Amino acid sequence: MQTTWKGTISFGLVSIPVHLYSATQEHDVPLHQVHAKDGGRVRMKRYCEREEREVPYAEIAKGYESPDGRTVTLTDEDLADLPLPSKKIIDVLAFVDAGEIDPLMFSKAYYVGVADKAAAKPYALLRDALTESGQIAVTKIALRTRESPAVLRVHDGTLVLQTCIWPDEVRSAAGIAPEEEVTVRPQELKMARSLMETLSEDFDLAQLHDDYQQALQQVIEARLQGVELPHEEEPGEAPDNVIDLMEALRSSLREAKGSRRGHPGEPAEDAGAAAAGPEAAKPAPRKRAAAPRKPAATRTGAGSGTRTAAGRSTAGRTAATKTTAKSTAKTTAKSTAKSTAKATAGARAGTRKSAAPRKAS
């Protein structure tokens, strides 16, 4: 990783030469400004308003405009010469419990690595002391053109420097939350706590996925291949008015319990019944109805059991044949009576031959 800062951690009389490395990076798909008509890249030119010409980067400095319109120019040398001890030294000012710093104050994180082998032991000393105490170290650091409060903490056995914003950079939350008095009933609070307990789990942010970046990548790949993506319907908006808070909580609790059992939206008892397995819901008569089909598959085998099953099956076919013959004789026209009689006679002859094994049994 590229080194972001080089300096020393001052821990009492102990000095630890260290390097800082950026601990985070964005995974966003890189996009550029282009001309929509032809896809040409759009470049921003540095233009001087007074001279009305483009200015090279080497001639650019920073400036401050005073309320009366005057401009103070500051070069990189002016900024580099500012008398700040925190430019090269991370001086530990205090040790506090981790919960004393509001996460709202945190800004950017940097991994802290040793600058040489001699720094390994004091580095491990500070790391282990912070781990055992459960505390964090409060300090300050100047990075580039900004000095910030910071904390030193431990993450996965590595020291991390987390820069913070200054307290006066935090905006007030006044007027954001509802200002009118709202009464929350005890049963509503109890139901909300039950829902929270149902959804409580050991959570890892790695379980979440950036759906926006994935969808954007799919659009880019489709355009590269010259195909159109199907337009999916946008999800409906959640209702912005809650009519019955208790009913909404009950429904949420039922859905949460159902999804934990693998059946989203079902009550817990329904989910439990469904989890009993397919055998519990299978009707018993189906098992008895399937029994006569097994002997039919073994008609070629020897044994009295096989002959008996075959005889019963033949008798059933004989009865069905007689019934069909009578019904056909009544409803068929006279012109087809002779052919029906022949078919009936043939069926009866086949029945007498098939019924012979029944007499033997």
Residue 57 falls inside a structural domain? no
Same domain, 17 and 81: yes
Contact (Cβ atoms closer than 8 angstroms) between residue 6 and residue 115: yes
314: containing domain: 298-324+348-355
Residue 238 falls inside a structural domain? no
Same domain, 136 and 193: no
Residue 129 falls inside a structural domain? yes
Q: Given pLDDT bands bounded at 50, 70 and 90, which one contains residue 239?
A: low
Q: Given pLDDT bands bounded at 50, 70 and 90, which one contains residue 232?
A: confident
The residue with greater pLDDT, 236 or 258, is 258
Same domain, 130 and 11: yes
Kindly tell me if the per-residue pLDDT of 187 is higher than 80.
yes
Query: Given this model, what pLDDT does residue 328 score?
Result: 43
Task: Tell me the three state secondary structure of residue 107.
Answer: strand
Structure tokens at 331: 């409803």
Same domain, 96 and 128: yes
Same domain, 132 and 279: no
Same domain, 11 and 133: yes
Same domain, 110 and 191: no
Q: Given pLDDT bands bounded at 50, 70 and 90, which one contains residue 336?
A: very low
Same domain, 156 and 92: yes
Mean pLDDT of 316-345: 45
pLDDT 10s digits, 9-51: 998 899 999 999 999 998 899 999 999 999 999 998 999 999 9
Kindly tell me if the per-residue pLDDT of 264 is higher than 50.
no
Query: Given this model, what pLDDT does residue 181 score?
Result: 86
pLDDT 10s digits, 58-105: 999 999 999 999 999 998 888 888 888 888 999 999 999 999 999 999
Taking the C-alpha atoms of residue 124 and residue 154, their distance in angstroms, rounded to an integer, is 11
Task: Tell me the three state secondary structure of residue 61.
Answer: coil
Q: pTM for the whole thing?
A: 0.62
Mean pLDDT of 177-206: 85
Residue 225 falls inside a structural domain? no
- Which residues lie below 8 Å from residue 203, measured CB to CB, with a gap of 6+? none
Kindly tell me if the per-residue pLDDT of 198 is higher than 60.
yes
Same domain, 264 and 125: no
Q: Given pLDDT bands bounded at 50, 70 and 90, which one contains residue 191?
A: confident
Query: Given this model, what pLDDT does residue 60 score?
Result: 92
Same domain, 112 and 192: no
Structure tokens at 197: 């307990």
Taking the C-alpha atoms of residue 112 and residue 21, their distance in angstroms, rounded to an integer, is 7
**Arithmetic mean of pLDDT over the chain:** 76
Which DSSP state fits 325?
A: H
Residue 108 falls inside a structural domain? yes
Residue 138 falls inside a structural domain? yes
Query: Given this model, what pLDDT does residue 237 score?
Result: 66
Q: Given pLDDT bands bounded at 50, 70 and 90, which one contains residue 116?
A: very high
Mean pLDDT of 302-308: 40
Kindly tell me if the per-residue pLDDT of 117 is higher than 90.
yes
Q: What is the CATH number of the domain that holds 8?
A: 2.40.290.10
Same domain, 118 and 163: yes
Residue 117 falls inside a structural domain? yes
Q: Given pLDDT bands bounded at 50, 70 and 90, which one contains residue 335?
A: very low
Tell me how many domains the chain contains: 3
Residue type, position 297, single letter:
A
Same domain, 272 and 158: no
Q: Given pLDDT bands bounded at 50, 70 and 90, which one contains residue 348?
A: very low
The residue with greater pLDDT, 361 or 62, is 62
Taking the C-alpha atoms of residue 246 and residue 192, their distance in angstroms, rounded to an integer, is 9
Residue 174 falls inside a structural domain? no
For residue 53, what are the CA distances in angstroms to 42, 47, 73, 74?
A: 18, 6, 19, 21
pLDDT 10s digits, 203-217: 788 888 888 898 889
Length in residues, the chain:
361
Kindly tell me if the per-residue pLDDT of 318 is higher than 60.
no
Kindly tell me if the per-residue pLDDT of 277 is higher than 70.
no
